[in-house]
Structure 1
Amino acid sequence: MQNVMAVAGRRVDPQGASASRFPVSRVEQVRSLILSRLSQGDIRKIVCSAACGADLLTLDVAADLSIAARIILPSTTESFKISSVLDRAPQQAWSEMYDRAVSAAAKRGDLILNVGDNSSTDYGAVNDAILDSACSLAGGNPSSVVALIIWDGQ
């Protein structure tokens, strides 16, 4: 039985992207796949960042299923929102998901900020912190952690 899920994945493509990796047109399909996985009932906690795309979709589905989430960001909430949420369409939808997820995590004490070099782009340090936090939440038992990687195979 898996208890903690570490999540990482792609952000939605910017408008006019030269290479399509995660077009906005696939958001509902990806949400459905995430829902299918999280509905299996074996996850009690999610650990991830909160960028628009895979992260926010996972956080939104987890909230719908009453699965708590720990959010780890490389900067302040506002700085991260500007650099990794509001820069992609549809801005309003991503912004609302982000605000809900961050607010809920903060209320539970599950919001970790300024990981790494305190820049909005220290994603390597955030990925390390996500894995470390997931292992810690699983009581140091790696067999109680599962990783969900949401990407296009490229």
Structure 2
Amino acid sequence: MIIGSDLARCIYKLSSAPLKGTVEVVDSGSEKIAAVTNVAEFGGWIKLSATGFTHSTPTIRTKLTQDASRFQVAIGRSLTSEKILVGLGKRVTRGTRVSLSVIGQSATPCRVVGAGVKGVARGTCRVKVGLTTNGRTDSSIVEIRVV
């Protein structure tokens, strides 16, 4: 299977961080079949392949995953948007607007204050980081641990 890297990241809501992938070949009885599998990202494309199996009706399962970005901030301190963007490997160009928002049930330990995220209680929060340039928005979700 070959899929465009940008499309896969959009569909599965993955950031620009490196991807991990697995390919499993399973027979009709849910038993794994020995096969040579390969997952690679190159030139804007993600390629997942499985070879060397001879079952007549195999099920091929693919999975793309990504390690969650981990950031840490002390209670009463702030983590700036610049540090978050550096940790994500993103660059801000002239005219780019950065937005931060705490999402989901995780709002208790963190609060967005100015251009950063402030730790207010111990725990972990999830923050959506959005970059808007020329009307095009790129967003990532990061986990921030408050200690």
- Structure 1 length as normaliser, TM-score? 0.20
Higher alpha-carbon Rg: 2
Higher strand share: 2
Q: Which has the higher contact order (CA 8 A, sep 6+)?
A: 1
Higher helix share: 1
